[in-house]
Amino acid sequence: MSLRIAALAPSTLRHVVTKPAATCVLRTYATSSPDATSVPDVTSIPPSTTRSARTHPPRRTFLYTKYQATLDSNRLVLILQHNNLTVSELVHVRQELSRLSSSPILTVIRSGIFTALIRNSPYENLIPLVLGPTCLITTDSPEATALAEIVPVLAKHRKLMLLGGKVDGALINVEDVKRIMALPPLESIRAEVLGVLEGQTRQVIGVLGKRPQELVLALEQHEGNLRGRGEEALGEH
């Protein structure tokens, strides 16, 4: 068979070779025809239609909103690291906290979501504390009273490490926690301030009450002096 192909005339060979080329040209022409509208021009599609907006899973959105409400609705927020805390130990700690008058709540958080929440916020400096397994203890009670109750409970559980937190709008570290605990109760501070203000008020009232009396005495004395001088002058005449 190969010998017969080799013996073909040159014109025949040209015909055999050029036939596929012609077919190829026809195929190229067909795909470039203006009637072929099945393939859209991607470059003409706006970016908004080629890339959908990023959406977060419902669970992540729920936790983000929950953590935001936790920060906004509690005066005292403590950040702790829990190291291999079992479920039974976690339940025990929550039971102990529930017996306190400040009613603190322990919440195990997802570090990534909480970090995203406080980034570019007044609490951004707390980000270095949110590493590994993290939980929050929150309460709306006065800070000194609450800390005096909470810290002894935490001291009994070695797997809980207090790292810092926030009081109202101020960030605190462990040293700040110790200083706040050393302060007297808020009621005592208020009583002392009120006592000082009342004492100063009494002094002011006393001074204001004495000044008119002193003025009256001074005027009477001055009047007496004038009378005495007048009588002396009449006696000389």
Any bridge partners for residue 69, and if so which?
none
Q: What is the pTM of this model?
A: 0.60
Give pLDDT tens digits for 188-229: 777 878 877 777 677 666 656 666 666 677 777 777 777 766
Give pLDDT tens digits for 59-77: 999 999 999 999 999 999 9
pLDDT for 48 equals 47
Give pLDDT tens digits for 4-55: 444 444 444 344 444 444 444 444 444 444 444 454 444 444 454 445 557 8
Q: How far apart are CA 64 and CA 117, in angstroms?
A: 7
Q: How far apart are CA 82 and CA 94, in angstroms?
A: 13
pLDDT for 190 equals 76
For residue 150, the SS3 value is helix
pLDDT for 87 equals 93
How far CA 2 is from CA of 5, 8, 9, 20, in Å, comes to 5, 10, 14, 20
